[in-house]
Chains A and B, each alone.
Chain A
Amino acid sequence: MLDDSAFDLRKYLNNNGQSAGVWIALVALIIFGLLRYDNFGSAYNIVSFLNYNSMFILIAIGMCFVIMTGGIDLSVGSVAAFTSVCAAYLSPFGIEVALPGGVLAGAVIGGINAFVIIVMRVPPFIATLATMLGAKGGALVISGAQTISVDWSSNFTKFGMEKAFGILPWTIVATLVVFFIAWIVLERTPLGRSVLAIGGSEEASTLMGLKVNRAKAFVYIFSGACAGLAGVFLASSYGAGQPLEGIGWELSAIASVVVGGTLLTGGLGSIPATLAGALLLGLVFNILNFENGKGTISLSAYWQLVIRGGFLFVVILLQTRVIRKRQAVS
């Protein structure tokens, strides 16, 4: 059993092309965009691109931790919608309250996921599917199924719309902070290594004496908190708590994680590559927008959903093909 997995793996790792590939694709797309569109490299496009995609980067980072343990979190989109409503309600108290409040709300739902998965032993996808439903219901209940306008008189919207020290938007700064923390936690702390070990073999990790349940609880709470922060961004950047947002976000996040070379079965993963994956997916949409603008294609908003699915499909095909090809080589 152990030898089988080792067998596939040797091929898979030797090539390492997967995570190099995402960077190459990213650079290629950027060059393509720069050459083809006038405003592609404009400060406005770059900032609004990063601002919008910071939400997806955040949930992708959270999702990456979950997937590295071999789990899945389908609730992230609904959680972001829920916390955007929470943040909108808290906005009169300013960002100092609304941001921790939103993150906490997300972390609590993540905690519920963790409880249901670890203590009640419900499979992750069922548990998070249920919280997806529950968070959506919760968002609709507390908002009365309406978008909730934020309080524009407090500093809440400044977070989403203004720049820190006049350089970068606050959302991007916050995303970078989360990114670096996540990176260090994964690479440099026992907790991060436990996450990877659990995904590699939960049984072996238990027998090695690792705190398996603690690490699993961490990833779901962390994923919930990341989605919570994304919800705060949503409310702050777009001026409203939006209970109906978040559809298909889990798919984007999963696709970003997988394109970054993380194995869906867990045990292997990288935070920078996940960032690259999220940026790549965002760039695909950015370029399609430009094409729409140029009039070469005309895609309705509904295509977004189709393209997200198509993107994941292609990524999965590539991952399987890479594994197979390497097997054939030796």
Chain B
Amino acid sequence: MTQESPVLENSGSSPAKLGSFKFDLRKHGGLLALVILLVFNALVTPNFLQPQTLFVNISQVATIAIVAIGMTMVIATGGIDLSVGAVMALAGALAPLIFLSPFGVEYPILGLIAAFTLPLFAAAFCGLFNGVLVSVLNVQPIIATLILFISGRGIAQVLTNGNLQTFSNDAFSYLGTGKILGLPFQGWLTLLLALIAFWFVRRTLFGRYLLAIGGNKRAALLSGVPVRPVTILAYVICSVLAGVAGMIVVAINSASDAARNGNLMELDAIAAAVVGGALLQGGKAPIFGAILGAIIIQLVKYTLLANGVEDEVALIAKAAIIVLAVWLQQARKE
């Protein structure tokens, strides 16, 4: 069973020796953690096995997972994007601003369409900014994305004057509260995005180039890979997905709070990607691994919360998970 796990998926190279089923903690650690978390919760956490718990967790995990998909692609190029949380705040702040504006009130349909698309364009622009800094100006990804990590949220707060914007707009809220076949809409959306991303990475020219750049940038360049456009595209995709996640958060709450939306999401997303098997030095883009990682991060949060552990302690736990995951990854390399 374990050898079919998504964590194993690695850039299309099938393991040479499928015959040996030796359990490798470092390889299957993610899945093991998931099983332990599930068993622990089933035994300890009250009401864990209720459908309600599933809904709550799906609607929460969706945003982490969507951002983690984008983060996985950026990490695959050997980069990192610290600005995803800020981009969520920005996109999330823009959407209600648009449909609450005089224009949006007068033409509700157009306003709604604009509210869905314009924030994504803004997010794409953020990605373009990051991508150009990284691939054209050769600024290290950490520094390049640190600019929007701080300023992006600042812009969102300036736009909303730091206020909480509440609204009631059923059509927009469907993004966060709608259900299909009894399961939250954003769960389905996540699945759809993951499938597209998986196809993109595994079957298209872009995906192959993405992995080649992360695997050996110089070799990729000398083999005719258009390194700059592909790198920029990875950052744009990551930002757009962050924008989608930011809008989902706003839709769930029927309110946008620029100070809190997406706060610390970069850590959740990096943790999910790394737990899912993405190598920080690039060259791997395990999309479903990132989903698994996101589920683990969400379950850890939920477990701590449901058992009365303070939010603040949960922060420390998350920090530990990230360090542990990267450490295991480094150890595997050597």
Q: Interface on A for B, CB 8 Å cutoff?
A: 72, 74, 116, 120-123, 125-127, 129-131, 133-134, 136-138, 140-141, 145, 247-248, 250-251, 254, 264-265, 300-310, 312-313, 316-317, 320
Contact = CB atoms under 8 A, between A and B. Distances in A.
Contacts of B80: 125
B264 interface: yes
A120 B324 CA distance: 9
B327 interface: yes
Contacts, number: 131
A141 B147 contact: no
Nearest to A243: B312
Contact of A309 (B140, B154, B310, B319): B154
Nearest to A312: B147
Given A134-B320, A137-B313, A305-B150, 4 more contacts: A120-B330, A133-B315, A140-B312, A316-B143
Nearest to B274: A126
Given A120-B330, A122-B326, A248 B143 contact: no
Contact of B150 (A129, A248, A316): A248
Contacts of B320: 130, 134
B280 A123 contact: yes
A28 to B, nearest CB: 24
A283 B117 CA distance: 40
Of the candidates A123, A136, A302, A320, the one having the most CB atoms from chain B within 10 angstroms of its own CB is: A302
**Interface majority SS (helix, strand, loop, mixed), chain B:** helix
B313 A316 contact: no
B158 A303 contact: yes
Given A134-B319, A306-B158, A122 B133 contact: no
B150 A127 contact: no
Contacts of A141: 310, 312-313, 316
B138 A122 contact: no
Nearest to A301: B162
Interface in B154-175: 154-155, 157-158, 161-162
A305 B139 CA distance: 20
Nearest to A299: B158
A137 B316 contact: yes
B157 A122 contact: no
Given A72-B142, A122-B326, A126-B280, A137 B315 contact: yes
Contacts of A133: 264, 267, 315-316, 318-319, 322
Nearest to B160: A302
Contacts of B114: none
Contacts of B326: 122-123, 126
Nearest to A306: B154
Given A134-B315, A302-B162, A126 B154 contact: no
Of the candidates B162, B316, B327, the one having the most CB atoms from chain A within 10 angstroms of its own CB is: B316
B153 interface: yes
Given A125-B142, A133-B318, A302-B157, A320 B137 contact: yes
Interface in B288-310: 310
A13 to B, nearest CB: 19
Interface in B249-264: 264
18 contacts: A120-B330, A134-B320, A136-B315, A140-B312, A248-B150, A250-B146, A251-B146, A264-B143, A300-B157, A300-B158, A303-B158, A304-B154, A307-B154, A309-B148, A309-B149, A313-B151, A316-B139, A320-B138
Nearest to B137: A320
A300 B157 CA distance: 9
